Chain A
Amino acid sequence: SYELTQSLSVSVALGQTARITCVGNNIGTRNVHWYQQKSGQAPVLVIYKDKNRPPGIPERLSGSNSGNTATLIITRAQDGDEGDYYCQVWDGGSEMVFGGGTKLTVL
C-alpha cells in the first residue's frame, strides 16, 4: 500500500517561513492535497492539486510537488497558522491515503 511520511513537528519563528514536507514514492506524479486542523476542529483544505488555494486561503500558503517530496510552504508565519497539517493523495487505485500529520508550532 502507498505510504506518505511527514515529520512529526515543525517549529517556525513568528514572521518567518515554514516548510512542511510529505514524502512518498514518486509523489510528484500524483495530486497532493493539504489540510490544516486546529485543536478540536474539523480539518480545512488549504491546498489542492499540489499548489491551488481554495477561496479564503491566504496567498502566504503555497505548495509544490516534485520527485518524492511534496512541500507546503507558509510564509510570514502567524499564530493562527499553528495546528496539525496533513498531506493526502489518491493512491491511483481505490484508496485515499493521508500522511501521519505534522504539528506546526509558531514561536
Chain B
Amino acid sequence: QVHLVQSGAEVKKSGASVKVSCKASGYTFSGYAVHWVRQAPGQGLEWMGWINPGTGNTKYSRKFQARVTITRDTFASTVYMELSSLRFEDTAVYYCARDAGLNWGSFHFWGQGTLVAVSS
C-alpha cells in the first residue's frame, strides 16, 4: 500500500532555511506527482507547489515562488521541500501529498505531517 513518511519536527531561527523530506513507498515513484501543503496553527490548508518525480519538473505557488524549492531523489524515492528566509508566520505543519497521477491535481495520499516552528 501507498505510504508517505516525512521527516521529524524542526525548530528554526528566523531567517534560516528548513528542508523536509517525504519518503514514498508502495507505488512507482516516477508515476505520480507529489505536492506540498502547509497548515498554520488553527488555519486552513495552503498549497505550496508540486514536482513530477520522473522529470524533476516543478510548479510553485506564486506566494512561495521566491522561497521554496522542491526536489527529488529517485534512487531513494524521496521528495524534499526546502523553504528559505523563514519567518514566524511560516510556523506550520507541512504535508506532502501524492496525486492520483502526474497532473490530476488531487491529493489522494498524505504524509503524516512535519511541524516546523520558527522562533525569532
- For chain A, the bracket of interface size reads 20 to 34
Q: How far is the CA of A92 from the CA of B113 in the complex (A)?
A: 27
**A95 B95 Cβ-Cβ under 8 A:** no
B46 touches A98 (CB 8 A): yes
Q: Are A42 and B110 also in contact (CB < 8 A) when A86-B45, A98-B47, A100-B44 are?
A: yes
Which positions 14-73 of chain A face chain B at CB distance < 8 Å?
31, 33, 35, 37, 42-45, 48-49, 54
Q: Interface majority SS on A: helix, strand, loop or mixed?
A: strand
Query: Binding site of B, secondary structure by majority: helix, strand, loop or mixed?
Result: strand
The answer to whether B62 touches A48, judged by C-beta atoms less than 8 angstroms apart, is no
**Is residue B31 within 8 Å, beta carbon to beta carbon, of the partner chain?**
no
Q: Is the CB of A43 within 8 A of B45?
A: yes
**Does the CB pair B106–A44 fall under 8 Å?**
no
Tell me the B residues contacting A by CB distance below 8 Å: 35, 37, 44-47, 50, 59, 61-62, 95, 97, 100, 104-108, 110-113
Mark A residues whose CB is within 8 Å of B. Answer: 1, 31, 33, 35, 37, 42-45, 48-49, 54, 86, 88-90, 94-101
Having A31-B106, A86-B45, A94-B59, one finds 19 other A-B pairs with CB under 8 Å, namely A31-B105, A33-B107, A35-B45, A42-B111, A43-B95, A43-B107, A45-B106, A48-B106, A48-B108, A49-B106, A86-B44, A88-B106, A89-B105, A95-B61, A96-B50, A96-B61, A98-B37, A98-B47, A99-B44
